[in-house]
Amino acid sequence: MVAITDRAREILFIRHSVEIIENVLAGFGYERFDAPILQPSELFLTRAGDLIADHLLTLDYRNQRLALRPEFTSPAVAAYIRNGADQPVIRWSFSGPVFEDRPSEDSLQTESVGAELLGMPGRFAEAEIIALAGLAAEQLGIAGYEIAIGHVGLTRHLLAQFGLDARAQRLLLNFLNHQTEPVTAELLLNWLEKFVALPTAQQAGEEAEDHQSRVLQALMKTTDADAMAISGRTRDEILERLLRKQQRLVTYERLSEAVNFLANYASLTAPLGEDWLETAALLPAPDERAKALVDEMHQVVSMVTAYGIDHQKLVIKPALARSWDYYSGIVFELRVNGTLFAGGGRYDDFAELLGSPREVPAVGLAFYLNNTILAKELIEAAPPQTLKIQLTPTSDNSAAVLWAQKLRALGLKIAVTETASPDSYLLQGDQLVVNSRAYRLDEIPTLVDALKEKSAS
């Protein structure tokens, strides 16, 4: 007999995991959503743009650029919009292969499973999605997990106090997305210097003053007629335009303050119930909007525990970074020994990018079952896909059929075989031998308990 390879065991684990996750989702009313494997490529570029363009697997067919789907969210939201964005709340689950060309991965194809909750705003939806991740992990026998919860909207709101332009904000936030080691102000500045030339504090002040002086001197010497001839604008229009540019200039002081703030903010992690915002004294003055967003996070976390998720497995990590250009509110990640197993969050703005006349409340999650580091720790715990009853010369064939049918009626997958294998059980006469004990047909409940104990050991 050919030995089962690690890859084969991993596939068994993934299939078993998908089945369990789908059952958990079905228990919450999620119905299966199917999307064609081939889709117009622009559908996926809308979500992530340059971040995914280099990884799409594409082909040209009848003057149309198509792509193998890299995810399910974009097709799901597009389908929701086509059916009318004012329709009732929709709960969709999905599972199936997705495709990306990433040199660091062993395969172009991975398995994706997850859920989308569309049309429901507020904390109840967010708590449900987060709880589903935890409940699915527990059904899979994963005990040592932790769920970190953050808020993209809160991070953006707090960063706005420094008056940075959109590009500087995006650079700072994207740094959090790519950083794996603890964030420090020095690392942030080094990151920014790759994209912008950062002046010293004295240079920033001198350059700003010199720029303003040169603009005013030039305008003093220019008539409206000259200005119109050169640029098609009056002196006042030129001055207004230049002042707007001047206002967008990022001074060293503001950038330095933002960098130091973000370094401290990114290091914050608090268990359920701690008022980390007041403790860290993050805001220079009371900010009701920030307090409301913090309260929103705490309420979501509290609701998650109502589903039976242990509060000790939940932490608030406000600067949790997933995709700053995609998510708009609460985000979360479920990790096992530091390895990402599931994640998701709220993305209300996404529907408008796909052509919706207004935003659509949306929150979703995905499980990362192809993470082999995690899978190898769990595949041995996954029960076999099929139990095998091995016939012998002394077997009663009619009894073999009865055994198989009764066990199938209990939800077990049974195959009758004449080939010996490590995962098969001998049928001697009309009795099935498991763990050196022979069981009669009327002892099936006891046998099932023995099989469960063997699977758990």
| pLDDT tens digit sequence for 374-388 | 655 565 555 556 778
- Give me the domain span that covers residue 17: 6-177+262-380
Return the percentage of the chain with pLDDT > 90, whole number: 26
* In-domain check, residue 27: yes
Place of tokens 């903010």: 265
374 and 297, same structural domain?
A: yes
305 and 170, same structural domain?
A: yes
> Has residue 38 got a pLDDT over 90?
yes
* In-domain check, residue 37: yes
Return the percentage of the chain with pLDDT > 70, whole number: 70
Last residue of a domain, which of 350, 380, 410? 380
Check residue 341 and give its pLDDT.
92
144 and 80, same structural domain?
A: yes
Last residue of a domain, which of 334, 354, 380? 380
412 and 372, same structural domain?
A: no
- Decide if 83 contacts 51 (C-beta within 8 A): no
Last residue of a domain, which of 351, 380, 409? 380
Residue 193: CB atoms within 10 Å: 10
238 and 202, same structural domain?
A: yes
* In-domain check, residue 286: yes
Express each pLDDT in 1-32 by its tens digit: 233 455 666 777 788 889 999 999 999 999 99
- Burial of 87-101, coded b for 16+ CB within 10 Å and e otherwise, reads eeebbbbbbeebbbe
Whole-number Å distance between alpha carbons of 111 and 189:
38
Instruction: Tell me, letter by letter, the H, E, C secondary structure of the chain.
Output: CCCCCHHHHHHHHHHHHHHHHHHHHHCCCCEECCCCCEEEHHHHHHHHCHHHHCCCCEEEECCEEEEECCCCHHHHHHHHHHCCCCCCCEEEEEEEEEECCCCCCCCCEEEEEEEEEECCCCHHHHHHHHHHHHHHHHHCCCCCEEEEEEEHHHHHHHHHHHCCCHHHHHHHHHHHHHCCCCCCHHHHHHHHHCCCCCCCHHHHHHHHHHHHHHHHHHHHCCCHHHHHHHHCCCHHHHHHHHHHHHHHCCCHHHHHHHHHHHHHHHCCCEECCCCHHHHHCCCCCCCHHHHHHHHHHHHHHHHHHHCCCCHHHEEECCCCCCCCCCCCCEEEEEEECCEEEEEEEECCCHHHHCCCCCCCCEEEEEECCCCHHHHHHHHHHCCCCCEEEEECCCCCHHHHHHHHHHHHHCCCCEEEECCCCCCEEEEECCEEEECCEEECHHHHHHHHHHHHHHHHC
Most confident of 47-61, 70-84, 250-264, 284-298: 70-84
> Has residue 255 got a pLDDT over 80?
no
* In-domain check, residue 296: yes
255 and 325, same structural domain?
A: no
205 and 131, same structural domain?
A: no
Q: What value does the mean pLDDT take over residues 270-281? A: 53
> Has residue 370 got a pLDDT over 60?
yes
Place of tokens 């001197």: 217
Phi and psi angles of residue 275, each rounded to the nearest 5 degrees, phi first: -90, 75
Check residue 305 and give its pLDDT.
93
* In-domain check, residue 153: yes
> Has residue 73 got a pLDDT over 70?
yes
Bridge partners for 391 per DSSP? 427
394 and 312, same structural domain?
A: no
Whole-number Å distance between alpha carbons of 229 and 307:
70
Torsion angle of C-alpha atoms 173, 175, 179, 183, degrees rounded to 10:
-80
Place of tokens 């009848």: 62
Stated pTM of the model: 0.74
With a CB cutoff of 8 Å and minimum separation 6, the contacts of 422 are none
146 vs 200, more confident: 146
> Has residue 220 got a pLDDT over 90?
no
Express each pLDDT in 198-218 by its tens digit: 444 444 444 444 554 454 445
Check residue 373 and give its pLDDT.
60
Whole-number Å distance between alpha carbons of 143 and 407:
29
* In-domain check, residue 1: no
Bridge partners for 93 per DSSP? 32, 115
302 and 194, same structural domain?
A: no
172 and 129, same structural domain?
A: yes
Whole-number Å distance between alpha carbons of 4 and 446:
29
CATH number of residue 311's parent domain: 3.30.930.10
Task: Please tell me the least confidently modeled range out of 36-45, 135-144, 168-177, 421-430.
Answer: 168-177
372 and 288, same structural domain?
A: yes
19 and 147, same structural domain?
A: yes
Whole-number Å distance between alpha carbons of 59 and 312:
48
Whole-number Å distance between alpha carbons of 212 and 246:
8
In the chain, the number of structural domains is: 3
At 258, list the tokens. Answer: 């933002």
